[in-house]
Amino acid sequence: MEGFSFRKIKSAILRINSSNLQRVSLVILAQIIFYVKPKSYNIGELRCNNFDKLGNDFDMVRLEDFMQETHGFYFPHRHNYYMILVATSGAGRQLIDFKTYDVKAGRSFFMYPGMIHAWEEVQDLKGYLIFFTDHFFAQRYHFDSLLTFPFFNTSRGLPYVDLDENGLREIVPVLDLMLNEYSSSEEKMASALRSLLNVALIKAARSYDGVDYYGAEDKSRSELVKRFEQLVDQHFLDKRLVKDYAKLLHISPNYLNVVVKEVTDKSAGEIIRDRVMLEAKRKLTHEKKTVAEIGFDLNFKDTAYFCRFFRKYQGASPDKFRKNIFN
């Protein structure tokens, strides 16, 4: 499949005029239409196959079929669902929360609601895609158990894990069973899919846990940082001070700062600030609200303070960031 990128879309725009409009591919034109209109998607809106058995709570498809039938979603969009992508061959690049990640055989990605996502390039990618909601998972397992999986419970950990040959050999049969079950319409299909989904998540988590993404020698300190990050994800809108999180963790602010700095090479305050900035960039990219409205949503006392904060750490005003996000 031909690869596309934001730069190619912009080049296509410049090529359009009355004499060559018909020569521009419909795929690129479709991307241009959505280029300045980031959208939030539910599972039902992504469906690219004939499966329509579980409403808007679950879908599964081979990666190559999804890319072929939908042309991938090369424009930034927000996920309202969980997504698992397991690549078995080919290559590519995708944007996840404003960072670019390579896609290659054996690499599995895990995305959760709220993330901003876009494909940048695809080269003969094959594999599996699973879309599901917390409601689907919670009909058999407690919702909180989703947050026990390391790739779903922090905004700082990597959104992928690289499976070795053994890891890929273990998870692919589970995914094939899921596809077969999904297409079978057998009795208790949804129940079987939930069980197999849980098995796939457990196998992926074992590989993810086997890699020390923090580089901490002391596992207890790494776990403390993970708990801190989970709390920041939950409370960043109303708690901006290190002492607030230290109180929740029953430790001193100084100790929290020391451990976070040692494990992540960032201060606890930087982790909190980074989470606020990530949410600000998500909203500026996805929502049509004014800068003032977004600042209010993020609990800044006034627009000027929000703009100073954003400019200080992004190097550009919120308006400029919003205008340049697709450059």
Residue 172's CATH number: 2.60.120.280
72 and 159 share one domain = yes
69 and 82 share one domain = yes
- Residue 214 belongs to a domain: no
User: Which residues are registered as beta bridge partners of 62?
Assistant: 128
Percentage of the residues of the chain whose pLDDT score is greater than 70 = 75
119 and 205 share one domain = yes
89 and 223 share one domain = no
Q: What's this model's pTM, rounded to 2 decimal places?
A: 0.64
- Residue 70 belongs to a domain: yes
Instruction: Specify whether the CB–CB gap between 190 and 51 falls below 8 A.
Output: no
Residue, of 216 and 180, whose pLDDT is higher: 180
Using 50, 70 and 90 to split pLDDT, how confident is the model at 241?
very high
Residue, of 189 and 285, whose pLDDT is higher: 189
* Phi, psi of 95, rounded to the nearest 5 degrees: -100, 125
| pLDDT over 90 at 172, yes or no | yes
Other Cβ atoms closer than 10 A to 196: 21
Spatial separation of the C-alpha atoms in residues 51 and 59, rounded to whole Å: 7
What is the extent of the structural domain holding 120? 39-209
- Residue 171 belongs to a domain: yes
Q: What tens digit of pLDDT does each residue of 73-122 get?
A: 667 777 788 999 999 999 999 988 888 999 999 999 998 888 888 888 88
Q: What tens digit of pLDDT does each residue of 255-313 get?
A: 999 999 887 778 999 999 999 998 998 888 878 899 999 999 999 999 999 999 999 99
145 and 103 share one domain = yes
161 and 79 share one domain = yes
107 and 204 share one domain = yes
Q: What tens digit of pLDDT does each residue of 22-56 get?
A: 333 333 333 433 344 456 666 666 655 444 556 67
Instruction: Specify whether the CB–CB gap between 17 and 55 falls below 8 A.
Output: no
56 and 154 share one domain = yes
Q: What value does the mean pLDDT of the chain take?
A: 80
254 and 161 share one domain = no
How many domains are contained in the chain? 3
Instruction: Specify whether the CB–CB gap between 193 and 175 falls below 8 A.
Output: no
**Which alpha helices (H) appear in the chain, and where do they start and end?**
6-15, 26-34, 43-46, 63-70, 134-138, 165-184, 189-209, 219-235, 242-249, 253-264, 268-286, 291-297, 303-314, 318-324
Percentage of the residues of the chain whose pLDDT score is greater than 90 = 42
Helix-then-strand count for the chain, H and E: 14, 8
- b/e burial code for range 286-323 (CB count within 10 A of at least 16 → b): beeeebeebbeebebeebeebbebbeeeeeeebeebbe
Residue, of 9 and 64, whose pLDDT is higher: 64
Q: Give residue 37's pLDDT.
A: 47
47 and 176 share one domain = yes
Residue 57's identity, in one-letter code, is: D
198 and 272 share one domain = no
CATH number at residue 307: 1.10.10.60
The candidate with the shortest Cα–Cα distance to 153, out of 226, 260, 67, 210, is 226
Spatial separation of the C-alpha atoms in residues 154 and 296, rounded to whole Å: 24
Q: Give residue 144's pLDDT.
A: 64
Other Cβ atoms closer than 10 A to 57: 18
* Final residue belonging to a domain, choices 191, 209, 227: 209
- Residue 178 belongs to a domain: yes
Strands 39-41 and 77-79: parallel
199 and 284 share one domain = no
